[in-house]
Amino acid sequence: MYNKKESSKKYYLKNRRRLIEKCKLWQEKNREKANGYVRKYYFKHRNLCLFKDKIAREKLRKEILLHYGGKCACCGFSDLDFKIYNHSFLSIDHINGGGTKHMKKIKRGTLYKWIKRNKYPSGFRVLCMGCNVSMIPGENKCVLHKGEVI
């Protein structure tokens, strides 16, 4: 009875050297390809896509922030481009912290898209990072600026 597995094994053993050589050649050829044009094109294209994406995201973020006043609702900080540890200092906050549940549903990165899609609903404000972390839920002034007249 013809045994395919057996015969291919025999074939392999018989032609092992030649097959390995062929395989190596093929790999080398493809590695060259992968290192060359295709790879370059891929990375260039990928970076370009990421860059375009970043610009679009930034534009949207500024659009939303400006709509909600363009400055921290507590301390008045208004530099939309200011970043700290690669995070923008100003961001959208859900007033009264009622957004925790809601925010969990919407990922941080998609909040701006969500706001625009829902035609800028009320209940949001702009806060800077400092005031954001110091805000007592339900208050309009953070612990740092409480009692200050701004």
Binding positions for Zn ion, rule: CB under 5 A: 72, 74-75, 77, 128, 131, 142, 144-145
Q: How far is the CB of 93 from Zn ion (least distance, A)?
A: 10
CB of 56 to Zn ion, least distance (A): 26
Q: Which is nearer to Zn ion, 112 or 145 (CB)?
A: 145
Q: For residue 73, which of 132, 21, 116 has the smallest C-alpha distance?
A: 132
Question: Quick one: 96 or 114, whose CB is closer to Zn ion?
Answer: 96
**Residue given tokens 């370009």 in the structure block:** 48
Q: How far is the CB of 117 from Zn ion (least distance, A)?
A: 27
What residue has token string 């493809």? Answer: 30
Q: Indicate the residue among 58 and 148 with the shorter CB distance to Zn ion.
A: 148
State the sign of the Cα–Cα–Cα–Cα dihedral 140, 90, 64, 119: negative
Contact 19, 12 (CB under 8 A): yes
Measured between alpha carbons, how far is 89 from 99 in angstroms, rounded to an integer? Answer: 19
Give whichever of 74 and 92 is closer to Zn ion, judged by the CB atom.
74
**Residue 126: CB minimum distance to Zn ion, A:** 9
